[in-house]
């Protein structure tokens, strides 16, 4: 008997942001429900996957957690190219990390997919006493640039599932065809066979 299966969507998502803003912690919270107080700095990038069901679809996230250290900056395009979504993370206690997030957003606007779903995450929202980035300022910046904005805490898990859920809802349901960017190699004899068995003119 036929079943009405939900549409399954594979979505590559990348996390970008300054060193120590909590990218790995957000991913670990979302994927494993864990938080590590002394999370090690990422080298290069790390890959995770997690599936999330939303109203009309099941989204299988392929998550690239990039390294925030400046020396890995040149690797970033490898991870954001072809990504359906990006989460740009700053630390609400660190104004410089907010400025760095803006630079990432400019880079994605210039070089990422034009239909990429972008979210801005003000992480470490539990550290309210040390807050240095005003919510309103970040919210306005996000609105002006067409991003979804939320303050998160990987430590308390506040808004972590929510940000992935909101992204999953916004990812286009009709995905572009997965044609490889390179050449299609074809064996000449196969080409001839194809021609021979095809159409007559």
Site for ligand GTP, rule CB under 6 A: 17, 19-25, 36-39, 41-42, 67-69, 123-124, 126-127, 153-155
* Least Cβ distance, residue 150 to ligand GTP (angstroms): 12
Residue 141: phi, psi to the nearest 5?
A: -60, -45
* Least Cβ distance, residue 186 to ligand GTP (angstroms): 43
Which DSSP symbol is given to 42? Answer: P
Q: What number of residues does the chain have?
A: 201
CA distance 96 to 14: 21
Q: Provide the β-strand partners of residue 70.
A: none
Asked whether 11 and 61 are in contact (CB, 8 A), the reply is yes
The full DSSP string for 97-154 is HHHHHHHHHHHHHHHS-TT-EEEEEEE-TT-GGG--S-HHHHHHHHHHTT-EEEE--T
Asked whether 98 and 138 are in contact (CB, 8 A), the reply is yes
Cβ proximity to ligand GTP, 130 vs 194, nearer residue? 130
Q: In what order do the strands lie in the sheet with 7-17?
A: 45-54, 57-66, 7-17, 85-91, 117-123, 148-151
Cβ proximity to ligand GTP, 10 vs 39, nearer residue? 39
Cβ proximity to ligand GTP, 22 vs 112, nearer residue? 22
Cβ proximity to ligand GTP, 36 vs 53, nearer residue? 36
* Least Cβ distance, residue 16 to ligand GTP (angstroms): 9
CA distance 8 to 64: 19
* Least Cβ distance, residue 146 to ligand GTP (angstroms): 23
* Least Cβ distance, residue 36 to ligand GTP (angstroms): 6
* Least Cβ distance, residue 165 to ligand GTP (angstroms): 18
* Position closest to ligand GTP via CB: 68
Cβ proximity to ligand GTP, 31 vs 57, nearer residue? 31
Cβ proximity to ligand GTP, 39 vs 161, nearer residue? 39
Rounded to the nearest 5 degrees, what angle is found at the Cα of 28, between the Cα atoms of 69 and 14? 55
């Amino acid at each position: 008997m036929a079943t009405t299966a939900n549409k399954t969507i594979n979505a590559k998502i990348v996390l970008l942001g300054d060193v120590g803003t909590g990218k790995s912690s957000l991913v670990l919270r979302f994927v494993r429900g864990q938080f590590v107080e002394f999370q090690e700095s990422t080298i290069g990038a790390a890959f995770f996957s997690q599936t999330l069901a939303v109203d009309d679809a099941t989204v299988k996230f392929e998550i690239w957690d990039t390294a925030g250290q400046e020396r890995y900056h040149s690797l970033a395009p490898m991870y954001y190219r072809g990504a359906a979504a990006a989460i740009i993370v700053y630390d609400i206690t660190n104004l410089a990390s907010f400025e760095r997030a803006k630079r990432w957003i400019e880079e994605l606007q210039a070089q990422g997919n034009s239909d990429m779903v972008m979210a801005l995450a003000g992480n470490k929202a539990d550290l309210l006493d040390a807050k240095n980035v005003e919510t309103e300022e970040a919210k306005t910046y996000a609105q002006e640039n067409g991003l979804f904005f939320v303050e998160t805490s990987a430590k308390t898990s506040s808004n972590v599932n929510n940000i992935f859920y909101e992204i999953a809802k916004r990812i286009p349901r009709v995905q572009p065809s997965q044609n490889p960017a390179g050449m299609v190699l074809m064996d000449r004899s196969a080409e001839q066979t194809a021609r021979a068995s095809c159409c007559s003119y």
